[in-house]
Amino acid sequence: MSKVDEPTRDVFESGRRGLRHQGVRRANERTVLTVIGFNSGASNAEISRLSGLAPQTVSAILVDLEKDGLIHRGPVLRGRRGQPATPILLHPDGGLAIGVEIGWRHLDVVLLNMHAQILGHRHIDYGLPDAATIVQTIGGIVDELVAVLTPPQRQRLLDLGVAMPGQLAPNLHLLGASPAQVEAWHGLDLVDALHKRTGLAITLFNDGNAGCWAELIALARPRPANIIYLLVSHFVAAGIVGDGALWEGATGDAAELGSILVSRTDSPPDTAHRVASLSALRSRLAAAGQDLSLLPTARLEDAVAEPYKSAWIDADAQALAQVIFNATTVVEHHMVVVDTALSRTLSAELTGRVEAE
């Protein structure tokens, strides 16, 4: 679901303003690659304008990127005003990366190329993430995915990105984790452990921020400068893009919108996590004598009978509407994206109710 005042200018056409995300500011090469990724087929002159870098600087960077195999040049475009333009494109095999999502109830690992095409995927459901085995589990999957690559492809494997809840360890007890398990997660240096196990550079992201930034990238142009993103999953993940910049905060866990207090008709206020999430649905069912706490998300909604499903959707929609109202008083000219871990049918029903609220 989205609500938006149609933008007239893509946020990534705003020069440096649209490129302030922490991951693309550290080097001019990254800036140029980001511009090319967001504007496939842009010419040298267009890349210079969009990046705010001098044409000579862009030309030199493009030469280096082409030598490194990260980009390639398309056929010259003739018939336009001025000099014929050569489109610059990311090379699909210029780099490979592995993405990992450590969720509350599942693990996903994907192998991607530069065009974000999925070359390999593994999914595991679990009752809760186990600190004692998670690194070896991920490492084993990485070994499987890498094993099918050719030697040149392996040399192009750049890094491993991990998206996970920022407050996983402090809130793991909500899944019934033992104090020892919680303590194990507090003591786990995940980035260091994964680097030692895989030999890859590791980058860690808050899951809501990762989803929000991915949503912005995937939108058709012109992309808006401001987005509020909500993901209804085991809890409510969230992220905010404001003025073209991802709101990560000092810890990387900013925009924790699921922790907003929402009012309820017959009960005291509570956080959106405890009202609008799949965890809340499982709690409703448990209170009614149906313990589906260990049922994987993909099978959950088929196991939920009426009137429990409708009651949860009503409560969920009311809670999300309050979160959206409060968040949009902070972020102006907004687009709101509501994503879910549910089927298309139930997602459409939920987002329709949110719009009504």
| CA dist., res. 323 & res. 233, Å (int) | 16
Secondary structure class of 313 (helix, strand, coil)? helix
Residue 208, domain member (yes or no): no
- Residues 133 and 105 occupy one common structural domain: yes
- Provide the 10 A C-beta neighbour count for residue 297: 18
Domain containing residue 254: CATH number: 3.30.420.40
Helix boundaries (H) for 175-329: 179-186, 190-198, 207-218, 278-287, 297-303, 308-328
- Residues 255 and 352 occupy one common structural domain: yes
Write the CB contacts of 276 (distance below 8 Å, at least 6 apart in sequence).
Answer: 232, 236, 258, 262, 315, 316, 319, 320, 323
Q: Which domain holds residue 332?
A: 222-356
User: Of the candidates 166, 199, 232, which is a domain's last residue?
Assistant: 199
- Residues 351 and 269 occupy one common structural domain: yes
Residue 217, domain member (yes or no): no
Residue 350, domain member (yes or no): yes
Residue 210, domain member (yes or no): no
- Residues 195 and 239 occupy one common structural domain: no
- Residues 118 and 170 occupy one common structural domain: yes
Residues 257-292 have pLDDT tens digits of 999 999 988 889 999 999 999 999 988 888 888 888
- Residues 128 and 232 occupy one common structural domain: no
Residue 212, domain member (yes or no): no
Residue 205, domain member (yes or no): no
- Residues 61 and 124 occupy one common structural domain: no
Total domains present in the chain: 3
Residue 70, domain member (yes or no): yes
- Residues 248 and 335 occupy one common structural domain: yes
Question: Residue-wise pLDDT tens for the chain (357 aa)?
Answer: 555 556 666 766 644 444 444 443 346 888 899 899 888 899 999 999 999 899 999 999 999 999 999 999 988 877 666 567 899 999 999 999 999 999 999 999 999 999 989 999 999 999 999 999 999 999 999 999 999 999 999 999 989 999 999 889 999 998 889 999 999 999 999 999 999 999 999 999 999 999 999 998 888 888 888 999 999 999 999 999 988 888 988 888 888 999 999 998 888 999 999 999 999 998 888 888 888 877 888 888 888 888 888 999 999 999 999 999 999 988 876 789 999 998 898 899 999 999 999
Is the pTM higher than 0.75? yes
Domain containing residue 81: CATH number: 1.10.10.10
